[in-house]
Amino acid sequence: MHTDDLSRWIHAHVFDQSNPLAERSTRLVMWITAAMMVVEIAAGWWYNSMALLADGWHMSSHAVAIGLSAFAYSAARRYAQDARFAFGTWKIEILGGFASANFLLGVAALMVFGSAERIWSPQPIQYKEAIAIALLGLLVNIVCALILGKAHDHEHSHGHHHHGDAHAHGHEAHQDLNLKSAYIHVIADAATSVLAIAALIGGWLFGWAWLDPLMGLVGAVLVAVWAKGLIAQTGKVLLDREMDHPVVEEIREVVEASGADHTLTRVTDLHVWRVGKNVYSCALSLVTQDDRLTPTRVRECLAVHEEIVHATIEIHRYPGVQSAAAKPATHA
C-alpha cells in the first residue's frame, strides 16, 4: 500500500470518529433555536419583560454557539482524512465545545447586567402575553433537548458496542463534548424559560415585579456554573491533561510486565494523551534487563488495551537496573 494511501486509511479507520446523527441533530436544533430567539427577543421588548428578554438574548447566544458546534462537526468530517492532522480532527469538535462554553459565560454576564438594570429602573410588564411566549420557548427547548438527547443516546450506545467495557474508566471518556455543549445550551435555555415563567406568574398574581429581574440573576448564576464545568472538561482535553487517567497506570503495569521472567523492566518516562473520544496515544521510555525485549513485543502487550491506538517506544538496556519504586523504603 502506498504511503499516502496508508495514511488516509489510518485516519479513516482509527482517528475519524465523526457522528453524522449528532451533526444533523445539532444543525436542526440551531435553526429551531434561531427562530425562537427572534420571537422571544421581539416579545420581550414589546411586552417589557426582562426575564423574557434575557431568555431571548440567552437563546441568541445559544443559536451562535450551537452553530459553532454544527460547524465543528462539519469541519472535522471534511478534514477527517487529511494527513496533516497527525491524530485526526476530533479536537476540532472539542474546540467547538470550548468556544460554546465561553459563549455561555458571556450570556451570563449579559443577563446579570440586564437584570441589575431592571432592578434599579423597573418597567411595567404585560404578563399574560409574556407568559404565553415563555411557555412557547420552553416547549421549543424541550423538543430540542429530545432531538439532541436521541443523538447522545445513539452515540453512547454506539461507543459501547464497538469499544466494550474495557474503555469504561468513566462516563466522561465516552462523551461527545461538542454534543454535550449543544445539549447544555438547550438545557440552560429550558431552565431560564422555567425561571422566566415563574417570575412572570409571581408578578401577575401577586404583584411581585421584583421577581422578574431576580430570576434573571438566578438564571445567570446557573448558566455560569454549567459553563465553568464545560470549560473544565473541554480545556482538559485541549491541554492533554490525561496523566491522572486510569489508563496511564494500566499502560505502566502492562509494559513493566512485558519483560522475561527474572528480569526487571521499569518505565522511566511516560506520556499519554487522548486523540479521540475513547482512544489514546502514548510515548514511553523504559529500561530493562531483558536483552530480547523489543518495541514489537511491548506493542503486543499493549494490544490488550484497544484504546491505545499509537505508541512510540524507546528501550534502554542496563544490567542490574532498579527504579525508585522498586527500592526498599527508607525512613529518616
- Residues 199 and 104: their CA atoms lie apart, in Å, by 22
pLDDT at residue 276, as a whole number: 81
- Residues 52 and 67: their CA atoms lie apart, in Å, by 22
Ramachandran assignment for 88, one of left (phi > 0), alpha (psi -120 to 50 degrees), beta (any other): left
Classified as helix, coil or strand, 53 is helix
CA–chain centroid gap for 17, Å, is 14
pLDDT at residue 52, as a whole number: 65
**Terminal Cα distance for the chain, rounded:** 61
Beta strand 280-288 pairing with 265-274: antiparallel
Instruction: Report the amino acid identity of residue 12.
Output: A
Residue 254, C-alpha cell as written in the block: 502492562
- Residues 265 and 253: their CA atoms lie apart, in Å, by 10
- Bridge partners (DSSP) of residue 314 are 285
pLDDT at residue 58, as a whole number: 65
DSSP 11: I
Instruction: Report the amino acid identity of residue 292.
Output: R
Q: Which of 216, 217, 228, 189 lies closest to 101, judged by CA?
A: 228
Q: Which of 275, 266, 290 lies closest to 89, judged by CA?
A: 275
281-317 burial, b at 16+ Cβ within 10 Å, e below that, comes to: bbebebbbbbeebeeebbeebbeebebbbbbebebee
Complete domains list, the chain, with CATH = 3-238 (1.20.1510.10), 246-326 (3.30.300)
How many CA atoms are closer than 13 Å to the CA of 101, on its beta-carbon side?
Answer: 22
Q: Which of 220, 235, 192 lies closest to 101, judged by CA?
A: 235
Residue 33, C-alpha cell as written in the block: 433555536
pLDDT at residue 83, as a whole number: 79
The residue behind cell 456554573 is: 225
The residue behind cell 502514548 is: 282
pLDDT at residue 97, as a whole number: 86
Q: How far is CA 140 from CA 26, 282, 303, in A?
A: 14, 44, 47
Q: Is 3 exposed, middle or buried (0-12, 13-18, 19+ CB in 10 A)?
A: exposed
Residue 56, C-alpha cell as written in the block: 431571548
- Residues 295 and 311: their CA atoms lie apart, in Å, by 9
Pair 108, 223: CB distance under 8 Å: yes
pLDDT at residue 285, as a whole number: 95
Which residue stretches of the chain have pLDDT < 70?
1-19, 49-52, 54-55, 58, 123, 152-175, 319-332
- Residues 259 and 278: their CA atoms lie apart, in Å, by 28
Mind listing the pLDDT tens digit for each residue in 158-184? 554 444 444 444 444 456 888 888 888
The residue behind cell 527474572 is: 262
pLDDT at residue 119, as a whole number: 78
